[in-house]
Amino acid sequence: MHNDIASASSSGSGVRVLFLDHSAALGGAELYLLDLAPAFAPPGKVLLLEEGPFYEKLQAAGIPVEVIIAPETVRRVAREAGPGSALRAAPGLLGLAWRVARKARAFDLIYANSQKALIVGSLAARMARRPLVWNLHDVLSAAHFSRLNIRLAVTLANQSVRLVIANSEASREAFRQAGGRPPVVVVHNGFDVQRFAPKPPEQIVALRQALGLPPGPVVGLFSRLAPWKGQHVLLEALAQLPGVQALLVGEALFQDEQRYAQQLRERAAQDDLRGRVHFLGFREDVPLLLQLVDVVVHTSIAPEPFGRVIVEGMLARRPVVATRGGGAVEIVRDGETGLLVPPGDVQALAAAIRRLLDHPEQARQLAEAAYQDACMRFSIEATRRRVWHALTEVIP
Ligand code: UDP
Ligand code: GLC
């Protein structure tokens, strides 16, 4: 099907997409786009509003990419922006949208891949007279965003967006609850299944040595360090699991996350956890690290919009424990393809990890069923095809 998309594009009947993302960091939404974009670009292109590692990755993948640096006033409008900073950002925002609009005239549509891209994209789409598609990667609820932020996103979507592509039913449902009116199709993230194939055992032994891990069971949590990702819940569960080690893979990106990371480090240095928690920072070798761990845990205490790491664990044939809510319940069938525990429940998390470690044959069967299921439901080919069909509805 990838070939269908590619040939349709090169024969000129494909959709020329201008992807717009404000971020050049390697967050989940950007990693999703990195996998999606090759089916569309060229002739499509990715436009970023800052420089960073995502830019390098796109270039290395042969995807046309350009950066228009957003003015400082626009970049400072934080996630929880108030009316003051929004007002100061207005002139810079108009100028930025104008520059994006000039690029957009060479494309059939603008595809905003983040909320800030939605703000810029809604102005640019009007200026360039191009339809706007928004890929919604967030659950727009009070657990994640201020009321002002939600109202802004929904108002812009209602006024300017032709089609919303939501990363899960949960994200679609929250958008509807918040008053979102445009048509929504749900397209789950897709993955290159081969990336998560088993690795040679000597590579895993070498990695274990390089990380200085003593023998014994290891659980892995692959997420940026942020309060809502719930790493603290894992640390408390670990306190009840003597002898079990944890890899915390990911780094803190924002200011409040730095504080949280410090608190995690202090907790991990206490007697009952000392030496058992390994902070690895951001890693590029997640597929290899997945092969090293005995259990993959996901601990988000607010509904996870989708949860790439859950699928990645399944594709790596690891047993997965995830918190019930958001996209996780669309990915995992509890007791069949993984275990679901209530968010923030230390006892339940500890019990689920213990169950998997104490019953390796059960864990293996769970992981095998999960692998089969994930291959069928979350392939990159299927995701590219669904997005492509959705876009051809917008540009027939
Ligand atoms: N990831 C990574 N290196 C790290 C930590 C995470 O490459 O050190 C990747 C991980 O493999 C996953 C993505 O970052 O693909 C995180 O996406 P997810 O949807 O789980 O959460 P998000 O951070 O986007 O909310
Ligand atoms: C966002 C969400 C995450 C999702 C990713 C890709 O980063 O927080 O849950 O998996 O987008 O859609």
Give the CA diameter of the chain.
65
Query: Residue 20: pLDDT above 50?
Result: yes
Residue 85's pLDDT is: 72
Of 294 and 74, the one with more pLDDT: 294
Quick one: 12 and 98 in the same domain? yes
Query: Residue 396: pLDDT above 90?
Result: no
Q: Does ligand 2 come within 6 angstroms of the Cβ of 307?
A: yes
CA of 31 to the centre of ligand 2 (A): 9
Q: Does ligand 2 come within 6 angstroms of the Cβ of 27?
A: yes
Query: Residue 80: pLDDT above 50?
Result: no
Of the given ranges (14-23, 53-62, 74-83, 369-378), which has the lowest mean pLDDT? 74-83
Residue 163 structure tokens:
């089609």
Neighbours of 78 (CB within 10 A): 11
Give 276-299 pLDDT, tens digit per residue: 999 999 999 999 999 999 999 999
Residue 256's pLDDT is: 78
Quick one: 64 and 208 in the same domain? no
Q: Residues 234, 297: contact at Cβ < 8 Å? A: yes
Preceding peptide of 42 cis, ω within 30°: yes
Quick one: 145 and 218 in the same domain? no
Tell me the sheet residues that pair with 322: 340
Q: How confident is the model at residue 5 (pLDDT cuts 50, 70, 90)?
A: low
Nearest CA owner, ligand 1 atom 17: 28
Residue 1's pLDDT is: 43
Residue 11's pLDDT is: 36
Q: How confident is the model at residue 81 (pLDDT cuts 50, 70, 90)?
A: low
Quick one: 103 and 9 in the same domain? yes
Q: Does ligand 1 come within 6 angstroms of the Cβ of 306?
A: yes
Domain ranges, residue 247: 193-377
Q: How confident is the model at residue 3 (pLDDT cuts 50, 70, 90)?
A: very low
Quick one: 209 and 78 in the same domain? no
Quick one: 219 and 134 in the same domain? no
Quick one: 28 and 94 in the same domain? yes
Q: Does ligand 1 come within 6 angstroms of the Cβ of 249?
A: yes
Q: Does ligand 1 come within 6 angstroms of the Cβ of 330?
A: no
Atom of ligand 1 nearest to the CA of 281: 8
Q: Does ligand 2 come within 6 angstroms of the Cβ of 250?
A: no
Residue 158 structure tokens:
């209602």
Residue 7's pLDDT is: 45
Of the given ranges (62-71, 76-85, 151-160, 278-287), which has the lowest mean pLDDT? 76-85
Quick one: 225 and 329 in the same domain? yes
Atom of ligand 1 nearest to the CA of 251: 8
Query: Residue 6: pLDDT above 70?
Result: no
Residue to mutate, 116, 135, 306, ligand 2, most ligand atoms under 8 Å from C-beta: 306
Q: Strand, coil or helix: what is 221?
A: strand
Residue 356 structure tokens:
């998997």
Quick one: 203 and 164 in the same domain? no
CATH code (residue 275): 3.40.50.2000
Quick one: 342 and 227 in the same domain? yes
CA of 228 to the centre of ligand 1 (A): 14
Q: Provide the 8-state DSSP code for 39.
A: G
Quick one: 136 and 39 in the same domain? yes
Residue 170 structure tokens:
């949960």
Give 160-218 pLDDT, tens digit per residue: 999 999 999 999 999 999 999 999 999 999 999 999 999 999 999 999 999 999 999 99
Q: Residues 320, 298: contact at Cβ < 8 Å? A: yes
Give 224-269 pLDDT, tens digit per residue: 999 999 999 999 999 999 999 999 999 997 777 899 999 999 999 9
Q: Does ligand 2 come within 6 angstroms of the Cβ of 325?
A: no
Q: What is the model's pTM?
A: 0.95
| Separation of alpha carbons 279 and 98, rounded Å | 43
218-222 and 184-186: which strand pairing? Answer: unpaired
Taking alpha carbons only, the member of 110, 113, 96 closest to residue 25 is: 113
CA of 190 to the centre of ligand 1 (A): 13
Of 8 and 331, the one with more pLDDT: 331
Residue 78's pLDDT is: 52
What is the number of structural domains in the chain?
2
Across the chain, mean pLDDT equals 93
Give 83-122 pLDDT, tens digit per residue: 677 778 888 899 999 999 999 999 999 999 999 999 999 9
Of 134 and 71, the one with more pLDDT: 134
Residue 2's pLDDT is: 45
Residue 125 structure tokens:
């789409």
Average pLDDT of span 43-51 = 96
Quick one: 70 and 123 in the same domain? yes
